[in-house]
Amino acid sequence: MTETSDDLPTPGLHRVVARQPIVAKDDRVVAFQMVFRPTDGTPSAVGPFGPTFTAEVMSDESAFDIGALVGDKQLYCRPWPELLAGTVPVTLPPRRSMLEVRRELVGRPDTLDHVRRLVADGYPVSVELAEWGPELGPLLELASLVRIDLETVGRDDLADLAEAFRPYGVTLLASGCQTPEDLAWSGRHGCELFSGPAVQRPMEPDAGLAPTALGQVQLAAELLDERLEFGRVEQILTHEPALVVQVLHEASLGAGGGLRREVHSIREALVVMGTMRLRQWAAMAVLGRNVANPRTDALTVALTRARMCALLAKPRGLDAGYAFTAGLLSALDRLLGVPNTVVENRIDVDKELAAAAFHREGRVGALVGLAARYQDAVEAGLPGPDITDIDLMAASAFAWAMTNINAIDRASALG
């Protein structure tokens, strides 16, 4: 079996570069699968990337905050070999952490003992399976969930497997769902949870952009315009009362989430946050209100891409803020559930920026394309572009995105 992007080989550091939503039949997100990439932890072209989520951090109970990664949802991950073998203690919170035994480990003689130990410690265990045999009975009696990959298991085989697993009372997760038809079929044949492109990228090819969403996207684009002066930012935000409340709240918080100072106006918020951060944060909050389908985790994808573009731009002598904006706009199809051609035709942005964001033209456009290809490779479980430090940049970008997602969620509760 080809090693996928969330497998964790022993050498090097393992960093979380993405999360993938797992949904129930009602489209409700119930969990996130963590996607890891191995890196050597020695960036060569760009300076410090800031905090990243690593396997080492996740095995340090005092340092790891599961809420920072998945909020109130469950965390799914594949334990790295040392954790599964018990040579390194598992410190992820029990019950909230689903640990998966991947398919090639199922037949190993020591796997059953490892699973017994994890279950005894309070961890639910999932097993990736593509076939049935009586020898799997003891493992299924311990497992809480079985993941079936529809990219390797046909529909007829799925129905047979679901019937074979039924006596064990395990929950079935259909992963690799490519189309709405895959979701419907697997749901009719015993699966209760789902993941894959059909979950992450639902899109209506003929859908238009509703006037309300169009106005919000245009507002976000204006906020992100590098030529925008602060007076105009202040004017825009004063017509968005709920957003003003959120911005003031965010500006009042210190880096650790503690109260730093009282902020009473947008102008004070600028002093605390800085023009660039204020504009970017406000634009992200605006776009977050218009995510077409919350099951997609599209805002996380968009912010990670934008931050990756900014990190890629710096060592190449390009404007990081401009690259950030191009990267964020390039992900509007994911956010709004419509093709980017629809977005491009309906919003008014600088022609050069539009060319970079929507057509991957120019030097910044090439970086947008690179970041997008990397994300596509991660989602498909394939190797990414062979660029120095790109896994490290992706891990840093993901950590940065999660920090901002959590801030937006926290502030939105006030609006």
Mean pLDDT of 203-208: 61
pLDDT confidence of residue 68: 85
What local confidence, expressed as pLDDT, does residue 57 receive?
63
pLDDT (tens digit per residue) in 68-94: 889 899 999 887 666 777 777 777 888
Q: Is the per-residue pLDDT at 403 higher than 90? A: no
Q: How far is CA 51 from the centre of its chain?
A: 16
**pLDDT above 70: percentage of residues in the chain:** 87
- If one compares 15 and 226, the residue with the highest pLDDT of the two is 15
Q: What percent of the chain has pLDDT over 90?
A: 45
Band the pLDDT of 9: cuts 50, 70, 90.
very low
pLDDT reading at 259 higher than 60? no
Q: Inform me whether the pLDDT recorded for 8 exceeds 50.
A: no
Report whether pLDDT(1) > 50: no
The per-residue pLDDT for 375 is 96
pLDDT level of residue 222 (50, 70, 90 thresholds) = confident
Query: Is-contact 365 326, C-beta < 8 A?
Result: yes
Task: Kindly tell me if the per-residue pLDDT of 266 is higher than 90.
Answer: no
Residue 120 is predicted with a pLDDT of: 94
Sketch out the chain's domains with CATH numbers: 13-200 (3.20.20.450), 211-412 (1.10.3210.10)
Looking at residue 4, what is its pLDDT?
40
pLDDT of residue 204: 61
Label each residue of the chain as H, E or C. CCCCCCCCCCCCEEEEEEEEEEEECCCCEEEEEEEEEEECCCCCCCCCCCCCCEHHHHCCCCCCCHHHHHCCCEEEECCCHHHHHCCCCCCCCCCCEEEEECHHHCCCCCHHHHHHHHHHCCCCEEEECCCCCHHHHHHHHHCCEEEEECCCCCHHHHHHHHHHHHHHCCEEEEECCCCHHHHHHHHHCCCCEECCHHHHCCCCCCCCCCHHHHHHHHHHHHHHCCCCCHHHHHHHHCCCHHHHHHHHHHHHECCCCCECCCCCCHHHHHHHHCHHHHHHHHHHHHHHCCCCCHHHCHHHHHHHHHHHHHHHHHHHCCCHHHHHHHHHHHCHHHHHCCCHHHHHHHCCCCHHHHHHHHHCCHHHHHHHHHHHHHHHHHHHCCCCCCCCCHHHHHHHHHHHHHHHHHHHHHHHCCC
Least confident of 90-94, 371-375, 391-395, 401-405: 90-94
Q: What is the mean pLDDT of residues 282-309?
A: 88
Instruction: Give 354-385 pLDDT, tens digit per residue.
Output: 999 999 999 999 999 999 999 999 998 888 88
| Residue scoring higher pLDDT (276 or 145) | 145
Global confidence as pTM = 0.86
